[in-house]
Amino acid sequence: MTSNSLRDADIAYALHPYTNAVAHEQSGPMVAVRGKGVRVYDDAGKDYIEGMAGLWCTSLGFDEPRLVDAAKRQMEALPFFHMFNHKAHEPGIRLSETLVQMAPVPMSKAFFCNSGSEANDTAVKMIWYYHNAIGKPEKKKIIARLRGYHGVTVAAASLTGLPLNHRSFDLPIDRILHTSCPHHYRYGEAGETEDAFADRMAADLEALIEREGPETIAAFFAEPVMGAGGVIVPPKTYFAKIQPILKKHDILFVADEVICGFGRTGKMFGSETFGLEPDIMTMAKALSSAYLPISAVLINEKVYQGIRGETGKIGSFGHGYTYSAHPVAAAVANETLAIYAERDILGHVGTVGPRMQARLRRLADHPLVGEARGVGLIGAVELVADKATKANFDPSQAVGPRVVNHAQANGVILRAMAGDIVAFSPPLVISEAEVDEMFDRFERALNTVTEEIGAPA
């Protein structure tokens, strides 16, 4: 099929996620045809550094033969089986064992899904099931955070604190609450230190709990670093102030590790980077380097015992997916985790991460950049019309999307998010030279837009 026929077929038949369908009919797609290392190539042969690792996920790059071989071996041995009704298979068993043992805090059991959205949706159902099991049926409300992102299924999208994921979908559903976003740059008051800001965020959370009634609050969801909400790194003392409040009111803590898990922040889990002690952990994306869809929910012994007892009373845990722990996806995940250990991916991130963070911080001096932030191999720049007042650009100018479009023209794929924030999340295998090349290409795009809008150089 020629490039033109592919483009025409795409416009005619595909409804794209996170895409303006009207605009897409005019622009059409960039069609990727192959990948190598941190690069993908389109149908015209142009190379792009994938500065977002796809969707924060392709951690080992786009041509890892060991993952291909793992999938092939499992396809030949047992292409499908399931985990329902006392059935099991070796890849699923081994992956459960590995994840529980590598968790940064004591966990008891692993449950498998197919995406981060499904993992967070499953966590919501588990939380409600658990509280029914322990005789607290009124303890069902769940708190997430404004600008947090937890997925797009009905419950997960309700947890997500972004207007785009609610508008026209009749969301959020009831029993989902949102507390303040811990972004000091954007929401800190004049003269307020990061520590004082963290105090205020904790006070906001406790006030919400008290207003609603602690006996009605079941759980609190948080990403260690907020991803799609703008790569928001919390103040150093934020979680240290939040976690005692949760424990005081017997509120389960769910750490959403879908983006942060498996090395992105410099530790195996974001929970380690920020000192979190969750009762439940959700993970996906880099679990298989995105080569096949798979996600997991880890629960601690307290949660497991509640669920266990209820299944004994009811007769079954009435939740699961046809593809939960799909043997081929599980085999690829097992191989991915083995590669992380054998190649010391964390050590590599520890070497390359500082180069990326240094290049990010240099951008803080650019006339369009209000804040440059990040940790490990995740980061963002927030573009502003006025550096002194932090005033945003008029949305009609589409400054963030324009920068990203020019970046793509310069051979680097990035992501623009609400508020003219541009995110970086390259494959974990990126080299220091490739980090420099990625930022060189980005800076050319940023300078082009600066000229286009007539901003002072």
Residues 349 and 426: beta-carbon distance below 8 Å: no
216 lies in the same domain as 174: yes
DSSP designation for 189: P
The answer to whether residue 213 sits within a structural domain is yes
Q: Note the pLDDT of residue 409.
A: 97
pLDDT, tens only, 176-234:
999 999 999 999 999 999 999 999 999 999 999 999 999 999 999 999 999 999 999 99
Q: 385: which residues sit within 8 A by CB, 6+ positions away?
A: 391, 392, 393, 394
Tell me: do 336 and 350 sit in the same domain.
no
**428 in the same domain as 416:** yes
Distance of CA 363 to the CA centre of its chain: 24
pLDDT digits (tens, 9 = 90+) for 371-381: 999 999 999 99
Amino acid at 21: A
Decide: 184 and 235 in contact? Cβ < 8 Å: yes
Q: What is the pLDDT of residue 173?
A: 97
Q: 287 and 353: one domain?
A: no
Q: Edge-to-edge strand order for the sheet containing 412-413?
A: 32-36, 39-42, 47-50, 412-413
pLDDT tens-digit series, residues 18-58: 999 999 999 999 999 999 999 999 999 999 999 999 999 99
Cα separation, 336 vs 71, whole angstroms: 11
Provide the CB-side half-sphere exposure for 332 (13 A, CA).
27
> Which structure tokens are listed for 330?
């599980």
Same domain, 118 and 88: yes
Read off the DSSP letter of residue 105. Answer: S
CATH code of 211's domain: 3.40.640.10
What span, in angstroms and rounded, lies between the C-alpha atoms of 54 and 266?
19
Quote the tokens at residue 171. 């969301």
- Residues in the chain with pLDDT < 70? 1-3, 456-457
Query: Which positions ≥6 away from 358 have C-beta within 8 Å?
Result: none
Interatomic CA distance for residues 334 and 73, integer angstroms? 13
Same domain, 381 and 294: no
Same domain, 280 and 203: yes
What CATH number does the domain containing 413 carry?
Answer: 3.90.1150.10
In a shared domain, residues 102 and 219: yes
**Residues 242 and 108 both lie in one domain:** yes
Q: Are residues 267 and 360 in the same domain?
A: no
Domain that holds residue 395: 31-63+344-453
d(CA 283, CA 271): 12
Q: What's the half-sphere exposure (Cβ side, CA atoms, 13 Å) at 113?
A: 21
Rg (CA), the chain: 22
209 and 177 both lie in a single domain: yes
Q: Is residue 291 domain-resident?
A: yes
* Residue where a domain stops, chosen among 327, 342, 357: 342
CA quadruple 106, 111, 115, 116: dihedral positive or negative? negative
